[in-house]
Amino acid sequence: MRIKGPRATAVALTLPLLAFIGLSFVAPLGTLLSKSAYDPNVANILPRTLAALDGWSGGGLPAEAAFAAIAEELPKARQARTLVRVAGPVNRLKSGLRRVLARTARQVEKTEYAGSWRAALIGIDPAWQEPDTWLAIQAAGARFTLRHYLQALDLERRPDGDIGLRPEQSRIYVPLLWRTLLVSLGVTLLCLAIGYPIAHLIATSPPKRSNLLLLMVLVPFWTSLLVRTTAWIVLLQRQGVINSLLVSMGITPDGERLELIYNMTGTFTAMTHVLLPFMVLPLYSVMRSIPPTHMAAAASLGANPVQGFLRVYLPQTLPGIGAGGLLVFILAIGYYITPALVGGRSGQLISNMIAYHVQTSLNWGLAAALSSILLVAVIGLYLIYSRLIGIDRVRLS
Amino acid sequence: MQEPHPPSSANARQLAALLLALLPGSLAAESITVVSWGGSYARACVEAYHKAFTAETGIEVLLEDYNGGLAQVRAQADAGAVHWDVVDLEMPDGKLACDEGIIEPVELAELPPGLNGEAPAEDYPPGVVSECGPGMLFYSTIYAYSTQYLKGEPPATIEDFFDLEKFPGRRGMRRSPLANLEFALLADGVPLEQVYDVLDTDAGVERAFHKLDSIKDEVVWWEAGAQPPQMLADGEVLMSTAYNGRIFNAQVLEKQPFIIVWDGQVLDLGGPLAIVAGTPRLEAALRFVRFANRPTSIANVAKYISYSPSRRSAVGLVNKHWETGIDMTPHMPTAPENLKRALQSDWRWWSDNRDEMNERFSAWLVR
Amino acid sequence: MNPVLWRRVGHYGFIAFCAAAFIFLLAPILVIVPLSFNAEPYFTFTEGMLRLDPEAYSLRWYRNVVEDEAWSRALVNSLVIGSAATLLATTLGTLAALGLASPAMPGRALITGILISPMVTPIIIVAVGMFFFYSSIGLGQSLTGLILAHAALGAPFVVITVTATLSGFDPTLLRAAASLGAGPLRRFFRVQLPLIAPGVFSGGLFAFATSFDEVVVVLFMGGLEQRTIPRQMWSGIREQISPSILAVAVFLIAFALVALFTVQWLRRRSTGR
Q: Rounded to whole angstroms, how far apart are CA atoms B59 and B44?
A: 19
Q: Rounded to whole angstroms, how far apart are CA atoms A310 and B246?
A: 61
Q: Rounded to whole angstroms, how far apart are CA atoms A289 and C175?
A: 33
pLDDT of residue A393: 52
Considering the domain architecture, whether residues A186 and A334 belong to the same structural domain is answered as yes
Question: Which of B65, B83, B234 is facing C223, going by the closest CB pair?
Answer: B83
pLDDT of residue A389: 65
pLDDT beyond 50 at B5: no
Kindly state whether residue A366 falls inside one of the protein's structural domains.
yes
C273 touching B (Cβ < 8 Å): no
Across the A:C interface, residue pairs with CB atoms under 8 Å apart total 288
**pLDDT band for position C52 (cuts 50, 70, 90):** confident
Considering the domain architecture, whether residues B162 and B38 belong to the same structural domain is answered as no
Q: Rounded to whole angstroms, how far apart are CA atoms B75 and B72?
A: 5
Considering the domain architecture, whether residues A193 and A130 belong to the same structural domain is answered as no
Q: In terms of C-beta distances under 8 Å and separation of at least 24 residues, what long-range contacts does B181-185 make, across chains too?
A: B181/B205, B181/B208, B181/B209, B181/B212, B181/B357, B182/B208, B182/B266, B182/B343, B182/B345, B183/B141, B183/B143, B183/B158, B183/B241, B183/B264, B183/B266, B184/B208, B184/B209, B184/B211, B184/B212, B185/B211
Kindly state whether residue B32 falls inside one of the protein's structural domains.
yes
Considering the domain architecture, whether residues B68 and B201 belong to the same structural domain is answered as no
Residue B341: which domain range? 140-269+332-366
Q: How would DSSP label each residue in A142-207?
A: -SB--HHHHHHTTEEE-TTS-EEEPPGGG--HHHHHHHHHHHHHHHHHHHHHHHHHHHHHHHHS-H
Q: Rounded to whole angstroms, how far apart are CA atoms A213 and A209?
A: 6
Question: Which of C108, C152, C246 is facing A25, going by the closest CB pair?
Answer: C152
Q: Rounded to whole angstroms, how far apart are CA atoms C31 and C155?
A: 33
pLDDT beyond 90 at C148: yes
Let me know if B102 is exposed, middle or buried by CB neighbors in 10 A (0-12, 13-18, 19+): buried
Q: Rounded to whole angstroms, how far apart are CA atoms C15 and C7?
A: 12
Considering the domain architecture, whether residues B292 and B220 belong to the same structural domain is answered as no
- pLDDT, average across residues B175-189: 97
Which range (A187-191, A302-306, B121-125, B302-306) has the least confidence?
A: A302-306
Three-state SS at B222: strand
Question: Class assignment of domain C70-241?
Answer: mainly alpha
Q: Is residue B289 within 8 Å of residue B295, measured between CB atoms?
A: no
Number of domains in chain B: 2
Per residue in B39-71, pLDDT (tens digit) is 899 999 999 999 999 999 999 999 988 989 999
397 residues of chain A, pLDDT tens digit each: 445 578 898 999 999 999 999 999 999 999 999 999 999 999 999 999 999 999 898 888 999 999 999 999 999 999 988 999 999 999 999 988 999 999 999 999 888 888 899 999 999 999 999 999 999 999 999 999 999 999 999 998 887 788 999 888 788 899 999 999 999 999 999 999 999 999 999 999 999 999 999 999 999 999 999 999 999 998 998 888 899 889 989 998 887 888 898 889 999 999 999 999 999 998 998 998 888 888 788 888 888 878 888 888 998 898 889 889 988 998 899 889 999 999 888 888 999 999 999 988 889 999 999 999 999 988 888 787 777 666 545 554 4
Q: Rounded to whole angstroms, how far apart are CA atoms C217 and A25?
A: 12
Looking at residue B288, the DSSP 8-state letter turns out to be H
Neighbours of chain B (3+ CB pairs under 8 A): A, C
Q: Rounded to whole angstroms, how far apart are CA atoms A70 and A64?
A: 10
Distance from CA of C122 to the nearest CA of A (A): 4
Residue of B nearest to C223 (CA): B83
Residue of A nearest to C135 (CA): A28
Which of residues A118, A141, A164 is at a domain's end? Answer: A141
Provide the b/e sequence for B261-282 (b: ≥16 CB within 10 Å). Answer: bbbbbbbbbbbbbbbbbbbebb
Q: Report phi then psi at A3, rounded to 5.
A: -75, 135
ipTM entry: 0.90
Considering the domain architecture, whether residues A186 and A57 belong to the same structural domain is answered as no
Which range (A325-334, B24-33, B295-304) has the least confidence?
A: B24-33
Q: Is residue C56 within 8 Å of residue C48, measured between CB atoms?
A: yes
Kindly state whether residue B175 falls inside one of the protein's structural domains.
yes
Looking at residue A254, the DSSP 8-state letter turns out to be G
Q: Is residue B75 within 8 Å of residue C135, measured between CB atoms?
A: no
Let me know if C272 is exposed, middle or buried by CB neighbors in 10 A (0-12, 13-18, 19+): exposed
Could you count the other beta carbons within 10 Å of the beta carbon of residue A267?
Answer: 27
Distance from CA of C230 to the nearest CA of B (A): 17
Looking at residue B113, the DSSP 8-state letter turns out to be P
C223 touching B (Cβ < 8 Å): yes
CATH code at position B63: 3.40.190.10
Portion of chain C with pLDDT greater than 70, in percent: 97
Kindly state whether residue A24 falls inside one of the protein's structural domains.
no
Q: Where exactly are the structural domains of chain C?
A: 3-56, 70-241
Kindly state whether residue B256 falls inside one of the protein's structural domains.
yes
Size (chain B), residues: 367
Is the Cβ pair A16, C92 closer than 8 Å? Answer: yes
Q: Which residues of C touch B64 (CB under 8 A)?
A: 224
Q: Is residue B65 within 8 Å of residue C238, measured between CB atoms?
A: no
Q: Rounded to whole angstroms, how far apart are CA atoms B47 and B22?
A: 25
Residue type, position C213, single letter: D
Kindly state whether residue B171 falls inside one of the protein's structural domains.
yes
CA A265 to chain centre: 20
Is the Cβ pair C138, B81 closer than 8 Å? Answer: yes
Considering the domain architecture, whether residues A107 and A180 belong to the same structural domain is answered as no
Summary mean pLDDT of chain C:
89
Q: Is residue B192 within 8 Å of residue B263, measured between CB atoms?
A: no
Provide the b/e sequence for C57-71 (b: ≥16 CB within 10 Å). Answer: beebbbeebeeeeeb
Distance from CA of A144 to the nearest CA of B (A): 20
Distance from CA of C240 to the nearest CA of B (A): 6
Kindly state whether residue B321 falls inside one of the protein's structural domains.
no
Kindly state whether residue B352 falls inside one of the protein's structural domains.
yes
Is the Cβ pair B355, A79 closer than 8 Å? Answer: no
Distance from CA of C256 to the nearest CA of B (A): 30
Considering the domain architecture, whether residues B145 and B74 belong to the same structural domain is answered as no
pLDDT beyond 70 at B25: no
Considering the domain architecture, whether residues A177 and A326 belong to the same structural domain is answered as yes
pLDDT beyond 90 at C270: no
Three-state SS at B89: strand
3-class DSSP string for chain C: CCHHHHHHHHHHHHHHHHHHHHHHHHHHHHHHHHHCCECCCCCCCCHHHHCCCHHHECCHHHHHHHHCHHHHHHHHHHHHHHHHHHHHHHHHHHHHHHHHHCCCCCCHHHHHHHHHHHHHCCHHHHHHHHHHHHHHCCCCCCHHHHHHHHHHHHHHHHHHHHHHHHCCCCCHHHHHHHHCCCCHHHHHHHHHHHHHHHHHHHHHHHHHHHHHHCCHHHHHHCCHHHCCHHHHHHHHHHHCCCCHHHHHHHHHHHHHHHHHHHHHHHHHHHHCC
Kindly state whether residue B326 falls inside one of the protein's structural domains.
no
Q: Which residues pair with A157 in a beta bridge?
A: A163
Is the Cβ pair B226, C138 closer than 8 Å? Answer: no
Q: Is residue B34 within 8 Å of residue B40, measured between CB atoms?
A: no
Residue of B nearest to A74 (CA): B100
Residue A187: which domain range? 173-393
Q: Which residues of A touch C142 (CB under 8 A)?
A: none
pLDDT beyond 80 at B211: yes
Is the Cβ pair C240, B223 closer than 8 Å? Answer: no
Is the Cβ pair C151, A24 closer than 8 Å? Answer: yes
pTM of the model: 0.89
Q: How would DSSP label each residue in B121-140?
A: HHHS-GGGEETTEE--EEEE
Could you count the other beta carbons within 10 Å of the beta carbon of residue B118?
Answer: 15
Q: Report phi then psi at A339, rounded to 5.
A: -60, -35
pLDDT of residue A238: 85
Size (chain C), residues: 273
Q: Rounded to whole angstroms, how far apart are CA atoms A61 and A58?
A: 7
Distance from CA of A85 to the nearest CA of B (A): 6
- pLDDT, average across residues B206-226: 94
Residues of B with CB under 8 A from a CB of A: 69, 71-72, 74-75, 77-78, 80, 96, 98-102, 170, 216, 219-221, 234-236, 277-278, 351-352, 355-356, 358-359, 362-363, 365-367
Neighbours of chain A (3+ CB pairs under 8 A): B, C
Kindly state whether residue A36 falls inside one of the protein's structural domains.
no
Q: Rounded to whole angstroms, how far apart are CA atoms A257 and B186?
A: 31
Q: Rounded to whole angstroms, how far apart are CA atoms C268 and C261?
A: 11
Q: Which residues of B touch C239 (CB under 8 A)?
A: 38-39, 65, 223-224, 226-227
pLDDT of residue B3: 38
Across the A:B interface, residue pairs with CB atoms under 8 Å apart total 89
Q: Which residues of A touch C117 (CB under 8 A)?
A: 21, 25, 382
| Greatest distance between any 2 Cα atoms in chain A | 102
Residues of A with CB under 8 A from a CB of B: 78-79, 81-85, 87-88, 91, 95-96, 98-99, 102-103, 105-106, 169-170, 172, 176, 237-239, 257, 259, 262, 344-345, 348, 353, 356, 359-362
Which range has the top average pLDDT, B156-165, C176-185, C230-239? B156-165
Kindly state whether residue A3 falls inside one of the protein's structural domains.
no
The DSSP bridge pattern shows strands A155-157 and B258-275 to be: unpaired
Is the Cβ pair C239, B79 closer than 8 Å? Answer: no
Considering the domain architecture, whether residues B35 and B172 belong to the same structural domain is answered as no
Q: Which residues of C touch B234 (CB under 8 A)?
A: 43
Kindly state whether residue B2 falls inside one of the protein's structural domains.
no
Residue of B nearest to C140 (CA): B81
Considering the domain architecture, whether residues A136 and A181 belong to the same structural domain is answered as no
Q: Which residues of C touch A232 (CB under 8 A)?
A: 28
